[in-house]
């Protein structure tokens, strides 16, 4: 079985501050890991993904995430927050076996950016 | 236009009625999925399909039926709607798992 835990349902930062959204996963096989962003009344948009290879992955809008196998983590960061980053962010994992091809999502973290 | 389209965007129905949510994708992606999004639960998988005529249950399939006679369409039917099925429903497609999913804009369903 695979699962995702996002630490913190709400994160608030000031514009220009570091953004750090935490994600820990559980998977019985080497996972594929994803971060998605959802703006109000919209579908989810892929920010970045880790499949194999380099453990630091860069995505759209200046976001990046690092896969740390020893910590079973895939935290999302952005050096300097912008007002337009305010949204809900979802971490997701896809593993093997009966879970192959299916994404399991975390419960989401709402990011608020203050002026 | 290319993409993944869900219809309707909003739907209000009465308890006990049958309702079908439509999903259409233009990429010929093999994989298609239905998720529901509820406050406090994130997204939960209802059904998925690996190809035409191949479907399987996800985490919360009870009360739902799917079919996939054509690669591009994956309708979701609520056989007898209940208030607990009030939710936002998202359809997604994928060419293969390591590409991630592309999501539709969602259908907000209210059962009264």
The pLDDT value recorded for residue A95 is: 72
The pLDDT value recorded for residue B100 is: 85
Whether residue B87 contacts residue B38, with contact meaning beta carbons closer than 8 Å, is answered with yes
Whether residue A65 contacts residue A46, with contact meaning beta carbons closer than 8 Å, is answered with no
**Cα–Cα distance between A10 and A18 in angstroms, integer?**
15
Whether B62 has a pLDDT exceeding 70, the answer reads yes
Q: Binning pLDDT at 50, 70 and 90, where does residue A97 land?
A: low
Q: Which of A64, A37, A29 is nearest to A50 (CA)?
A: A64
**Cα–Cα distance between B43 and B29 in angstroms, integer?**
21
Q: Binning pLDDT at 50, 70 and 90, where does residue B72 land?
A: very high
pLDDT tens digits, B29-61: 999 999 999 987 889 999 999 999 999 999 999
**Cα–Cα distance between A65 and A50 in angstroms, integer?**
8
Cβ–Cβ gap A102/B106 under 8 Å: no
Whether B1 has a pLDDT exceeding 60, the answer reads no
B34 touches chain A (CB under 8 A): no
Q: Which of B50, B97, B102 sits opposite A94 (nearest CB)?
A: B97
The pLDDT value recorded for residue B86 is: 98
Whether A96 has a pLDDT exceeding 70, the answer reads no
B6: β partners: B23
Whether B96 has a pLDDT exceeding 90, the answer reads no
pLDDT tens digits, A30-87: 789 999 999 988 899 999 999 888 889 999 999 999 999 999 999 999 999 999 999 9
Contacts of B49 (CB under 8 A, 6+ apart): B31, B32, B33, B55, B56, B66, B68, B74
Phi, psi of A60 (to 5 degrees): -80, 160
Whether residue B66 contacts residue B49, with contact meaning beta carbons closer than 8 Å, is answered with yes
Cβ–Cβ gap B33/A44 under 8 Å: no
Q: A102: which chain B residues are within 8 Å (Cβ-Cβ)?
A: 33, 45, 48, 58, 97
């Amino acid at each position: 079985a695979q699962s995702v835990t996002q630490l913190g349902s709400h994160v608030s930062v000031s514009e220009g501050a570091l953004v750090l959204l935490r994600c820990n996963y559980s998977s019985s096989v080497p996972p594929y890991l994803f971060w998605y962003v959802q703006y109000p009344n919209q579908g989810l948009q892929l920010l970045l993904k880790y499949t194999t290879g380099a453990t630091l992955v860069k995505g759209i809008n200046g976001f990046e995430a690092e896969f740390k196998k020893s910590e079973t983590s895939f935290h999302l960061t952005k050096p300097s927050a912008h007002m337009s980053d305010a949204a809900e962010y979802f971490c997701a994992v896809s593993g093997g076996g009966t879970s192959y091809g299916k994404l399991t999502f975390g419960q989401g973290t709402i990011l608020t950016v203050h002026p | 236009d290319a993409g993944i389209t869900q219809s309707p965007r909003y739907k209000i129905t009465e308890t006990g009625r049958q309702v079908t949510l439509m999903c259409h994708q233009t990429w010929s992606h093999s994989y298609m999925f239905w998720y529901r999004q509820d406050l406090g639960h994130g997204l939960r998988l209802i059904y998925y399909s690996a190809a035409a005529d191949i479907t399987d249950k996800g985490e919360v399939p009870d009360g739902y039926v799917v079919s996939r006679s054509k690669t591009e369409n994956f309708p979701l039917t609520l056989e007898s709607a209940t208030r607990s099925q009030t939710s936002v429903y998202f359809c997604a497609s994928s060419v293969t798992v390591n590409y991630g999913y592309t999501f539709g804009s969602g259908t907000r369903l209210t059962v009264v």
